[in-house]
């Protein structure tokens, strides 16, 4: 007698599946906390330059003064854009989404890296760490130019007398804003940098697990981040705010959205059930911007939609909810919001590519087949 076949346990969306170990960050829904290499993210956001957080994610420790100075020197030296990258960007239609521009540009950077062709050039950890810093240094110029060209503006050359956050704003707007704005921007970058096995990071790890190169992993991760269930939500929040208009209309708008079974972007999370650990820090940064730009109307709309949503669904905002309006106040146009997330998250993605390849196992789950049983091909 043959044993009855037991069906494998299908975990749709891999919900609740622990796919591997990681030493990079810990998302703890029980304590509603997020640690980068052991440090609470809100403490890093309160005090650390983004360059120091990047070093922490890559190397496991905060940098010494000398290490930070060396990373700053290297990052600043790697900022200028190659003409061939600019041409690749210019070939993308102006109407295309800036995430498409970014995906193309990162792919181009991979094509331009001739060290990939060396023996073991794809997997060499030292070369890959250099590529991580290169991507980190290049992305602000690419994101900034992508916004500027859509507004008919020329690129702005990077300045090596400015830190990462200030130079990013300089290259986007051609001026460095007040410290209050710079600081809110820096906080957003720290908070967006890393979040364990989220969809885009997992994508990067899947690609890295085939022993493909880091540019391919980052290009794929950009594609995963673009969707509105993931990074695209920060843009969708601003579209919703634009549709709603004023705080007094938030409840009616929400009721209509929920009646139509539309998801409200910027709320909910696969892992956190009682609120996203990063929201308090980002909300404080948003409050500072609201005060700086004197926009209490935006704060009112934010609060009205949040309280109506929490009251109706018992689901809390995620990081994209305060980040969207914060980027709007800083002057970024809405399609640039998710590219800003990319620029920050490239630090986490590249740390995960290194971690994956240091102890690799091809990521290849099973599926349960539910199509037709075996059948004969009809004769011709």
Ligand X SMILES: CC(=O)SCCNC(=O)CCNC(=O)[C@H](O)C(C)(C)COP(=O)(O)OP(=O)(O)OC[C@H]1O[C@@H](n2cnc3c(N)ncnc32)[C@H](O)[C@@H]1OP(=O)(O)O
Ligand Y SMILES: O=C([O-])CC(=O)C(=O)O
Give the nearest distance from C-beta 252 to ligand X in angstroms: 16
Give the nearest distance from C-beta 19 to ligand X in angstroms: 16
Span from 73-81, 138-146, 224-232, 295-303 in contact with ligand X (CB under 6 A)? 224-232
Q: Buried b vs exposed e over 47-79: b needs ≥16 C-beta within 10 Å?
A: ebbbbbbbbbbbeeebbeeeebeebbeebbebb
Give the nearest distance from C-beta 376 to ligand X in angstroms: 40
CA atoms of 230 and 319, how far apart (whole Å): 11
Span from 16-24, 66-74, 229-237, 354-362 in contact with ligand X (CB under 6 A)? 229-237
Q: Which does 265 bind (CB under 5 to 8 A by kind): ligand X, ligand Y, none?
A: ligand X
CA atoms of 68 and 281, how far apart (whole Å): 24
Span from 58-66, 84-92, 125-133, 265-273 in contact with ligand X (CB under 6 A)? 265-273
Q: Which of 113, 195, 213, 230 is catalytic?
A: 230
Helix axis angle, 50-59 relative to 125-150, nearest 10°?
150
Give contact residues for ligand Y (rule: CB under 6 A).
Answer: 195, 198, 269-271, 318
CA atoms of 145 and 335, how far apart (whole Å): 13
Q: Which is nearer to ligand Y, 136 or 197 (CB)?
A: 197
DSSP codes, 78-117: T-SPPHHHHHHHHTS-TTS-HHHHHHHHHHHHHHH-GGGG
- Residue 11: Cβ within 10 Å count: 10
Among 98, 110, 141, 268, binds ligand X (CB under 6 A): 268
Residue 175 burial by Cβ neighbours in a 10 Å radius (0-12, 13-18, 19+): exposed
Q: Which is nearer to ligand Y, 198 or 334 (CB)?
A: 198
Coil vs helix vs strand at 8: coil
Q: Does 233 bind ligand X (CB under 6 A)?
A: yes
Q: Which does 239 bind (CB under 5 to 8 A by kind): ligand Y, ligand X, none?
A: none
Among 37, 149, 269, 283, binds ligand X (CB under 6 A): 269
Q: Which is nearer to ligand Y, 144 or 344 (CB)?
A: 344
Q: Does 283 bind ligand X (CB under 6 A)?
A: no
CA atoms of 141 and 112, how far apart (whole Å): 17
Helix-strand-coil split of the chain, %, nearest 5: 60, 5, 35
Residue 183 half-sphere exposure toward CB, CA atoms < 13 A = 16
Q: Does 231 bind ligand X (CB under 6 A)?
A: yes
**Is 320 an annotated catalytic residue?**
yes
Q: Does 356 bind ligand X (CB under 6 A)?
A: no
Q: Which residues sit at the interface with ligand X, rule CB under 6 A?
A: 13, 229-231, 233, 263-270, 313, 315, 318-320
Q: Which residues are designated catalytic?
A: 230, 269, 320
């Amino acid at each position: 007698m043959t044993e009855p076949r037991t069906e494998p346990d299908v975990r749709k969306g891999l919900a609740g599946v622990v796919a591997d170990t990681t030493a990079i960050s810990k998302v703890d829904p029980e304590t509603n906390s997020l640690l980068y290499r052991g440090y609470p993210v809100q403490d890093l956001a309160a005090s650390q330059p983004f360059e120091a957080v990047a070093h922490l994610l890559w190397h496991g420790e905060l940098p010494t003064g000398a290490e930070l100075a060396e990373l700053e020197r290297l990052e600043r030296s790697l900022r200028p854009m190659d003409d061939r990258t600019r041409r690749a960007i210019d070939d993308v239609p102006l109407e295309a989404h800036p995430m498409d521009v970014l995906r193309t540009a990162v792919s181009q950077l991979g094509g331009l890296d001739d060290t990939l062709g060396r023996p073991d050039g794809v997997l060499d950890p030292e070369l890959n760490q250099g590529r991580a810093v290169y991507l980190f240094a290049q992305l602000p110029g690419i994101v900034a130019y992508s916004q500027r060209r859509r507004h008919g503006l020329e690129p702005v050359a990077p300045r090596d007398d400015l830190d990462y956050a200030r130079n990013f704003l300089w290259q986007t707007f051609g001026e460095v804003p007040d410290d209050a704005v710079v600081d809110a921007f820096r906080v957003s970058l720290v908070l967006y940098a890393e979040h364990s096995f989220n969809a885009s990071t997992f994508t990067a790890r899947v690609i890295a697990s085939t022993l493909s190169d880091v540019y391919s992993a980052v290009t794929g991760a950009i594609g995963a981040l673009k969707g509105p269930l993931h990074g695209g939500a920060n843009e969708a929040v601003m579209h919703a705010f634009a549709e709603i208009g004023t705080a007094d209309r938030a409840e009616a708008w929400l009721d209509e959205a929920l009646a139509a079974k539309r998801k409200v972007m910027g709320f909910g999370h696969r892992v956190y059930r009682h609120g996203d650990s990063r929201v308090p820090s980002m909300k404080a940064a948003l409050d500072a911007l609201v005060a700086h730009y004197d926009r209490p109307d935006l704060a009112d709309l934010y609060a009205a939609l949040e309280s109506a949503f929490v009251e109706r669904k018992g689901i809390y905002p995620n990081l994209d909810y305060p980040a969207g309006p914060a980027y709007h106040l800083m002057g970024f146009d809405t399609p640039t919001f998710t590219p800003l997330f990319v620029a920050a998250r490239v630090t986490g993605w590249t740390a995960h590519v290194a971690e994956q390849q240091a102890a690799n196992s091809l990521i290849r789950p099973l599926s349960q087949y539910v199509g037709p049983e075996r059948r004969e091909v009809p004769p011709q």
